Structure 1
Amino acid sequence: MKYTNLFEPINIGQLTIKNRFVMPAMDSGTTTSEHLFSDQSIAYFAARAKGGFGLIITEYMAVVPEGIGNPKEVGLWDDSFIPNISKLSDAVHKSNGKIFAQLHHSGMMCVQKNTGVQPAGPSAIASANYLEPVREYSTKEVYELIEKFAQAAQRTKKAGFDGVEVHGAHGYLIAQFLSTATNKRVDEFGGSYDNRFRFARLIIQRVKTLCGNDFPVLFRLSAEEFMDGGCTIDDAIIYASLAQDAGADAIHVSTGTGVGGNIVTPLYFDPGFNIDNATKIKANVSIPVIGVGRINDPALANQIITSGRADMISLGRQSVCDPEFPNKIFEERTDEIFKCTGCMQRCYYSKGYDESDVGISCMINPFSGKESDWKFINTAVKKKIVVVGAGPAGLEVAWIAAKRGHDVSVYEKNSTPGGNYRLAAIPPKKQDLAKTIHTYTTLCKKHGVELHYDYEMTSKKLNSLNGDVVILSTGSTPLLPPIKGLQIDDCIKANDILDGTKVIANQNVLIIGGGLVGCETAEFLSGYHNNISIVDMESQFAKDAVKRSRAVLMERLQHNNVSMYPNTKVLEILKDGIKAIRDDNEVTMNGFDTVIIALGSKAYNPLEESIQANEVYVIGDAKIARDAKAAIYEAAKLGLSI
């Protein structure tokens, strides 16, 4: 077996974990207003244990009601929660996994509308996120909170949990005590490193007293807080050593804060970006160190463990993307792995496709987060299914329908699959999107789908195939509105740049359209020494992008000196520029060598009206031009229902 080091057992304290894979705490969005895990929550965690993750860490769980971070955060503040969390520990254990509860208090990051009381923290400093007045906890209250943390841990032990993680990362209460940006206290909990760590130390020690030395305690911290005065790796090394001295059994090295960002990182951060920090901490402690940071490939995971840079690997969004990541590696099915692209389009507080698509999920694997609802049921009636178009929607519906027992064939006019989604992998840092298509085609071949390339489908050909079901996933084409001066046959479209049809270098370039495609095309062209300007009639560029991804993209465009002109409606395209209306004033922009059109897409569906099959479905962009998240979800639902 390849990557054997990933499957070596390891001890955290006196507890043996079967391999090196950790699913870290992440908000699943599936808990209830009664502060309980729902049946879907339990199915979601159990699926990761069944998928081979040796250690499962729950999403954060509040030790007191006034410490909740969201209105549905699971509670640990009294014994009434024990029956519910016992169901979760039982489910994980049945799937041969170990489970730790993450002990949490939001501190100054609390919101009064959620808790009913004024936020409190180590000092009376308001969160820049919420801007609510914060009161300072008294010394007496701090000691009372220490006991609350320990009692919450004791409840998890009674519920069958294997250990706890003390959440000292991401800018929550314990992290607020550690950081000089938020801790301005003058009592024994402020000032020196030892004093700032005292709160965490006493929590760890009290948990050990109540739960026993054989009950493991992880300590999670942020190696870098990305905020003025926040903790850096040098601080984290000191705190990791202090945690070990206090009795912690392992260190979980994360990154970021609610204020400084980068708790969840988009695709612009390289896979494994935080492992160097874990390595530095590992050099200063003797207990296991868990590394995290966009680890999404078996080879990278194995290199981290084999080289001794970390003892375990924590796979956050990758565990959302593919709950079977460990099993697929162990069974040498790596080509079947859904590889997290860092898109953040469906896993990070993002809206689902419909009313049933709630809670955490994944753009490229919509089965994630629906473990209790979406099931593969073999078809009772085998049908001949013809799919036209091998973009992500066509491939997704094909492999799912074939797995259920249908006879499926896919016909693609190009020599390679992927459609416009393949072009989305071209801009900088987006290369992992290409792996999506490879995974889909691997699954198609595994389940017997016939893939036909260089096949230009016509109505006559389609009807001659005599399919019981025809699925049209023919994608979209660039939208070319009737702008004066636009020579459609000669115009350069963003797709022409991304597919390599046009090579533009050392030019003054104007891009008409500041959506995501226009902005990413600008970044791509920046690598060819072009001077680039973008115009858009909207006030915000790349407005449909995920907030965090958009922020980084805008920073990158600014770094590349891309000029952006919002509120600019193009009236006419000139030989070397445009005439436009900007803020009610007519302007002329000229002096450009090349003008590129990036004004969106429109559905391409030339075959539907002439199809003779009994069942016809139009999916993805062929139905209406949207993002890949919608197309893939729609395709998956159809594949399960035919």
Structure 2
Amino acid sequence: MNRGDPFEPGRIGPVKLSNRIIKSATSEGRSPEGLVTDELIDFHLDYVRGGVGMTTVAYCCVSKEGASAPGQILMSKRAAPGLSKLTDAVHAEGGAISAQLGHGGPVSSKKITGVTAMAPSRMVNPTSLEYCRQISAAEISGVIEHFRDAAVLAADCGFDAVELHFGHNYLPSSFLSPLFNRRRDSYGGGIDARSKLVREIAREVRTAVGGTIAVTAKISMDDGVPGGIDLAESLRTAQLLDADGNLDALELTQGSSVMKQMYLFRGDVPVRDFASVMPQPFKTGVYAFGRKMLGEYPYYNLYMLESARQFVPVMTRTQLILLGGITNYDHMSTGLNEGFDFVAMGRALLREPDLVNSIRDNRAKQTLCTHCNRCMYTVYGRTHCVLDPDAAFGTPDNVESLGMPSAARRAAASAPEIPRTTTDA
């Protein structure tokens, strides 16, 4: 086998994939009642038909209080029929499908969940300015159980894999951050103690599902937040998870959904687009301070590779998935030749759902994605590339000047801070 060929079959745990290309989790906005819709099914079928080996359903909440945006799927019995319909549809097309399981923690909002958000220690989310209370030890046990139960439900509904969201300063990731985790119990202190929660979640999930499905996790190599997660400590967390042997693969990411959100995305900062959907006084605030809040970081191809390659020599049991600025055959091949087992793509696939097949047919194919990042603000409606709005809304008549329907504008008014996006590179 040519290790650098992304179109060679691959395996993650018990799951065989037709190739080594994964559609990363991108907030979808196609489950307004927290349930699977035909739109959501079609959204993922586009990527499977377009050639990816596995598609990922973004941010399935493990509990009601863990929601980070309106309309996210809640992993519950009520959602099970739709989830099964979704996995059946993907399997009928010969694809594999993963469910990203998450708890928002400090990224959650009382406006959405009806309860005060939780964090490792008391804090104020600097983007939303909402207070977050400290989670209790008993509640930590409950969160671990919620991840376990959500994984079991995913397996029962036919998912091939679950992705545990340990990144972007959502609840598990916030425990890894020395800035947000100032606890004095067994979950706080040095990095080994701060890694306790993610290790316990991974162990509980693996024990519950055994080898029936693949268990992966997304982890931030660093969050771009001063005083937050850094590369050295993230390497230590990854080594601990690897030694435990409860994960089949780690997808390496960067950035935070609490602050400096552009560190994940890199490239253009769509301040004007964000401001356009905000009510006053947030509109003026975003115009004035949006760039400072979001941060400005240049985009370049394979922008996570430099940090991610540090994980290759220290992983002995766990496969690695490379994310970040992967848009063509050479990028994919480079990642695989560097020692990664799979590559993941986000924005480029939003622009061209059939990009993988196009690359298979023409290895010189270049993406149409301009990294304008205007897909970021579409999380207020249905996540899509604004350069191809018909793909998101069905007919041009439904698209307003900014590629967002009036319903999405009303949703933005109820959650006016910078969006808690899980759209990945």
The TM-score, its normalising length taken from structure 2, stands at 0.81
Cα offsets for 1:578-609 (capped at 9, x unmatched) = xxxxxxxxxxxxxxxxxxxxxxxxxxxxxxxx
Structure 1 window deviating more from structure 2 (144-153 vs 255-264): it is 255-264
Question: Which letter does structure 2 place at the counterpart of 1:266?
Answer: G
Deviation >6 Å, runs of 4+: none
Match of 2:325 in 1: 294
Q: Report the Cα distance in structure 2 between the residues aligned to 1:12 and 1:39, rounded to whole angstroms.
A: 28
How far apart, CA to CA, are the structure 2 residues paired with 1:369 and 1:285?
A: 39
Instruction: Please state how far the C-alpha of 1:194 moved relative to its aligned partner.
Output: 2.1
Q: Give the counterpart of 2:210 among 206, 209, 212.
A: 212
1:71-104 CA-partner distances (Å, limit 9, x unpaired): 111111x211111111211121122111111110
CA distance in 2, matches of 1:220, 1:304: 17
Q: Cα distance 1:303–1:351, how it changes in 2: closer, same or farther (>3 A)?
A: closer
Number of the residue aligned with 1:349: 377
CA separation of 1:80 and 1:350: change in aligned 2, threshold 3 A: closer
What is residue 361 of structure 1 aligned with on the other side?
A: 384
In 2, distance between residues paired with 1:75 and 1:338? 34
Letter in 2 for 1:349: Y
1:308 paired to 2:335:
no
1:111-130 Cα offsets, whole Å, 9 max, x none, are 11111111111111121112
Contact 1:290/1:313 (CA < 8 Å) preserved in 2? yes
- The residue that corresponds to 2:266 in the other structure is 265
- Percent of pairs with identical residues: 28
| Unpaired segments ≥5 residues, structure 1 | 353-357, 376-546, 549-642
Confirm or deny: 8 A CA contact 2:155 2:212 kept in the other structure.
no
Task: Give 1:340's aligned residue.
Answer: 369
For residues 426-458 of structure 1, give each alpha carbon's deviation from its aligned partner in whole angstroms, at most 9, with x where no partner exists.
xxxxxxxxxxxxxxxxxxxxxxxxxxxxxxxxx
User: For residues 350 and 144 of structure 1, do their structure 2 counterparts lie closer, same or farther at Cα, with a shift above 3 Å needed?
Assistant: closer
Q: Which has the higher helix share?
A: 2
Shift of 1:4: 7.0
Partner of 2:36: 37
Q: 1:367 Cα shift?
A: 4.7
CA contact (8 A) 1:21 1:314 kept: yes
Residues in 2 aligned to 1:283 and 1:369: alpha-carbon distance in whole angstroms: 41
Partner of 1:170 in structure 2?
168
Partner residue of 1:327 out of 357, 360, 372: 357
Q: State the match for 1:249 in structure 2.
A: 248
Per-residue CA deviations over 1:495-539 (Å, capped at 9, x if unaligned) read xxxxxxxxxxxxxxxxxxxxxxxxxxxxxxxxxxxxxxxxxxxxx
Aligned to 2:20: 20
Contact 2:27/2:379 (8 A) holds in 1: no
Number of paired residues? 364
Indicate the structure whose relative CO is greater, using CA pairs within 8 Å and at least 6 residues apart.
2
- Code of the residue aligned with 1:10 in structure 2: it is G
Equivalent residue, structure 2, for 1:383: none
TM-score by length of 1: 0.54
Question: How far off its partner does 1:35 sit?
Answer: 0.7
Compute the displacement of 1:234 (Å).
Answer: 1.1
Structure-to-structure mapping, 1:498-577, within 5 angstroms: none
* Aligned position for 2:312: 282
Unaligned runs of 5+ in 2: 269-297, 397-417, 420-425
Equivalents in 2 of 1:215, 1:317: separation in Å? 27
Letter in 2 for 1:71: P
Aligned pairs for 1:6-405 within 5 A: 6-32=6-32, 34-76=33-75, 78-246=76-244, 247-258=246-257, 259-261=259-261, 262-267=263-268, 268-286=298-316, 287-305=318-336, 307-332=337-362, 334-335=364-365, 338-345=367-374, 347-350=375-378, 359-370=382-393, 373=394
Secondary structure of the 1:231 match is coil
Greater per-residue strand proportion: 1
CA distance in 1 between partners of 2:339 and 2:227 (Å): 27
1:586-597 to 2 correspondences below 5 Å: none
Residues 411-490 of structure 1 aligned to structure 2 (within 5 Å): none
> Which structure: larger Rg?
1
CA offset digits 1:448-480 (Å, max 9, x no partner): xxxxxxxxxxxxxxxxxxxxxxxxxxxxxxxxx
| Pairwise CA RMSD | 2.2
